[in-house]
């Protein structure tokens, strides 16, 4: 059996890259889009200046002729009686007006359009926009954010317009997510009612979505209310008129069964009436996971907390650390999770990111049904793998991990560098296989700080570890017996604000026979 230690290095920063697919899954690569847009704005301004210069030339010519024509038409014969004036009239009409026509027909947009066409191949697509919209909703749910907080810019960033809120609602609607459809359509309507005038969408369209989304959640009275408001604005709206009759019929039917049991009462809500609130999903520990991400429900008693210490650690007087031991901090006791401070320098982190950025690809997971690697909505990040031979910095980091953990990294996996995207996350999972328990431990190098969110949480024991630049977090995924430690089920919480980079080192069990000996008891 192979065993792996996991060392996780979090590199949280702002960076750029050149890949142009799944942009929303990597903040680091999305930064390229900012520079692309900056170039396009510069090109657009050049085009505007060219058009302004063109119009200025035309205006000067028109002003000159306006003065000339005004004088000439007062005494046409006297004006043309001068041979120079007659010649200049012939010249103007024969050649100068033709030149003006050519100037007017000159397309000043060629350079801008050419630049836009070239850059468009690097633009995000519909999937990126949808992914970013879903990320906002995920952050909204995980951190219990009100739509108004996000929309008005109270969360650091720009405010959302009516059109933005409407588009978010449409994304939710396309996924049959009527809960979020309602939230964002209500916000769009609120901002429209407050006088926002730049919107291209009207209240009628928003109310149409709203009435249907609340109906789907079983709220007939509100659906009827929105429908009536819509018809006040557009009495001829065909669908709304049909819905009005249907909702009134269903509401009357519901009132007849109000005295019955809850099941009968629900039946009276209509054929498609649903339940209010977020729908249940595939993750049974969703509530616990999100609580931990918010820093709630962490299960550490004061007595246990008093037994967690910080210390200088030399790994049994390792020659590299006898004089300069590393700073070790206990993060959790059962299972034991430790953090090592000041493990990687800023220069080393920048080099690792520089090596990884061009090779970042959408992170994958193992599909138990097909046995193949595939992308998944519950893992939103991009990653790259760096071998020790690729650069001395990578080799030094690997050696440092071996020296600190006391484990042999020659059988370990390459250094994985990961960058999380918009609302980037990796939902609860095990690092060891259920059948092939080959990952013994994990070391995570944290290479930057995150302003908000991005914790690593352990859902079984209700623990949370927060990103801190330059540190390494370490834990064992397997017991010394080789059996999986199910207490290490963990997740990477969505990044609320910031850019999270991590480097992971999975150290396999194979090769550790004399460094971490097998325990006599199965769970030792």
Q: How many domains does the chain have?
A: 3
Q: Encoding tokens for residue 70?
A: 């005004």
CA–CA dist 210, 229 (Å, integer): 11
113 and 148: one domain?
A: no
The pLDDT assigned to 20 comes to 43
Strands 439-446, 5-10: pairing is parallel
The pLDDT assigned to 13 comes to 34
The pLDDT assigned to 448 comes to 79
Strands 471-476, 426-429: pairing is unpaired
Rounded to whole angstroms, what are the CA distances from 35 to 32, 48, 173, 177, 255?
5, 20, 32, 34, 59
Range of the domain at 356: 295-508
80 and 143: one domain?
A: no
CB 511 within 8 A of CB 408: yes
CA 111, chain centre distance (Å):
33
Axis-axis angle for helices 346-356, 392-405 (nearest 10) = 120
134 and 117: one domain?
A: no
Residue with tokens 């070790």: 328
Among 255, 258, 225, smallest CA distance to 243 is for 225
CB 416 within 8 A of CB 504: yes
- Whether 416 is in a domain gets the answer yes
2 phi/psi in degrees, rounded to 5 = -90, 145
Burial class (CB in 10 A: 0-12, 13-18, 19+), 323: exposed
43 and 170: one domain?
A: no
Q: 54, 89, 121 — which closes off a domain?
A: 121
- Which 3 state secondary structure label does DSSP give 183? helix
234 and 167: one domain?
A: yes
92 and 132: one domain?
A: no
- Whether 15 is in a domain gets the answer no
The pLDDT assigned to 262 comes to 52
- Whether 17 is in a domain gets the answer no
150 and 112: one domain?
A: no
- Whether 384 is in a domain gets the answer yes
Name every residue whose Cβ is closer than 8 Å to that of residue 111 and which is 6 or more positions away in sequence: 43, 46, 47, 50
Q: 121, 144, 170 — which closes off a domain?
A: 121
Element (H, E) at 453: strand 452-453
CA–CA dist 372, 364 (Å, integer): 9
| Vertex 282 angle, CA 280 and 283, to 5° | 95
- Whether 346 is in a domain gets the answer yes
CB 394 within 8 A of CB 348: no
Element (H, E) at 234: none
Radius of gyration of the chain (CA): 33
53 and 182: one domain?
A: no
348 and 485: one domain?
A: yes
Would you tell me how many other CB atoms lie within 10 Å of the CB of residue 70?
Answer: 9
Q: Encoding tokens for residue 186?
A: 């209500």
Helix intervals (H) in 294-330: 302-305
Would you tell me how many other CB atoms lie within 10 Å of the CB of residue 77?
Answer: 6
- Whether 261 is in a domain gets the answer no
Q: Encoding tokens for residue 144?
A: 């219990």
CA–CA dist 516, 524 (Å, integer): 12
Among 440, 448, 455, smallest CA distance to 491 is for 455
CA–CA dist 33, 503 (Å, integer): 24
> What is the block-wise mean pLDDT of the chain (524 residues), using blocks of 10 residues?
46 36 80 90 94 95 91 89 89 91 92 90 88 92 93 82 96 95 97 91 96 94 96 96 93 76 46 61 88 93 94 93 95 96 95 94 79 79 94 96 94 93 89 64 83 94 95 93 92 92 91 80 53
301 and 228: one domain?
A: no
Among 52, 53, 49, 55, smallest CA distance to 112 is for 49
Q: 121, 141, 164 — which closes off a domain?
A: 121
CATH of the domain at 135: 1.25.40.10
214 and 353: one domain?
A: no
- Whether 353 is in a domain gets the answer yes
The pLDDT assigned to 344 comes to 95
CATH of the domain at 424: 2.60.120.620
Residue with tokens 């959640």: 217
418 and 482: one domain?
A: yes
CA–CA dist 456, 426 (Å, integer): 9
- Whether 453 is in a domain gets the answer yes
């Amino acid at each position: 059996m192979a065993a792996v230690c996991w060392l996780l290095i979090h590199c949280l920063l702002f960076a750029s890259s050149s890949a142009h697919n799944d942009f929303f899954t990597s903040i680091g690569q999305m930064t390229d889009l900012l520079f692309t847009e900056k170039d396009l704005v510069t090109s657009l301004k050049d085009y505007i200046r060219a058009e302004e210069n063109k119009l200025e030339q035309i205006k000067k010519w028109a002003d000159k002729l306006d003065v000339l024509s005004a004088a000439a038409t007062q005494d046409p014969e006297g004006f043309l009686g001068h041979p120079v004036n007659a010649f200049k009239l012939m010249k103007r009409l024969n050649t100068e007006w033709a030149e003006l026509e050519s100037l007017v027909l000159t397309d000043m947009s060629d350079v801008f359009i050419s630049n836009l066409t070239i850059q468009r191949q690097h633009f995000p697509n519909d999937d990126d926009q949808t992914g970013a919209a879903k990320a906002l909703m995920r952050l909204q749910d995980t951190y219990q954010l009100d739509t108004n907080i996000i929309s008005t810019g109270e969360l650091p960033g720009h405010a959302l317009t009516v059109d933005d809120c409407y588009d978010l609602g449409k994304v939710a609607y396309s996924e049959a997510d009527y809960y979020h459809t309602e939230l964002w359509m209500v916000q769009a309507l609120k901002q429209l009612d407050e006088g926002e005038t730049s919107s291209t969408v009207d209240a009628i369209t928003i109310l149409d979505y709203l009435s249907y989304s609340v109906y789907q959640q079983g709220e007939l009275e509100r659906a009827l209310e929105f429908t009536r408001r819509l018809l006040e604005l557009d009495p001829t709206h065909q669908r709304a008129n049909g819905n009005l009759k249907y909702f009134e019929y269903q509401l009357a039917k519901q009132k007849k069964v109000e005295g019955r049991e809850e099941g009968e009462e629900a039946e009276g809500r209509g054929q498609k009436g649903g339940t209010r609130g977020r729908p249940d999903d595939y993750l049974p520990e969703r509530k616990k996971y999100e609580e931990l991400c918010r820093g709630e429900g962490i299960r550490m008693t004061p007595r246990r907390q008093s037994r967690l210490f910080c210390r200088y650690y030399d790994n049994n007087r390792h020659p590299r650390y006898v004089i300069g031991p590393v700073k070790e901090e206990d993060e959790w006791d059962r299972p034991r999770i430790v953090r090592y401070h000041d493990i990687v320098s800023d220069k080393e982190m920048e080099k690792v990111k520089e090596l990884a950025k061009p090779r970042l690809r959408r992170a994958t997971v193992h599909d138990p049904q097909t046995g193949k690697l595939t992308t998944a909505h519950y893992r939103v990040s991009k990653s790259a793998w760096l071998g020790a031979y690729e650069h001395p910095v990578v080799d030094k980091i690997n050696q440092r991990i071996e020296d600190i953990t006391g484990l042999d990294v020659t059988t370990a996996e390459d250094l994985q560098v990961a960058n999380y995207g918009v609302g980037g996350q990796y939902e609860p999972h095990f690092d060891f296989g259920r059948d092939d328990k080959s990952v013994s431990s994990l070391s995570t190098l944290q290479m930057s700080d995150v302003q908000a969110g991005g914790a690593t949480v352990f859902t079984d024991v209700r623990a949370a570890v927060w990103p801190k630049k330059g540190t390494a977090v370490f834990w064992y995924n397997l017991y010394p017996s080789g059996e999986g430690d199910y207490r290490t089920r963990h997740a990477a919480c969505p990044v609320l604000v910031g850019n999270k980079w991590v480097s992971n080192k999975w150290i396999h069990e194979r090769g550790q026979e004399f460094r971490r000996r097998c325990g006599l008891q199965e769970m030792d």
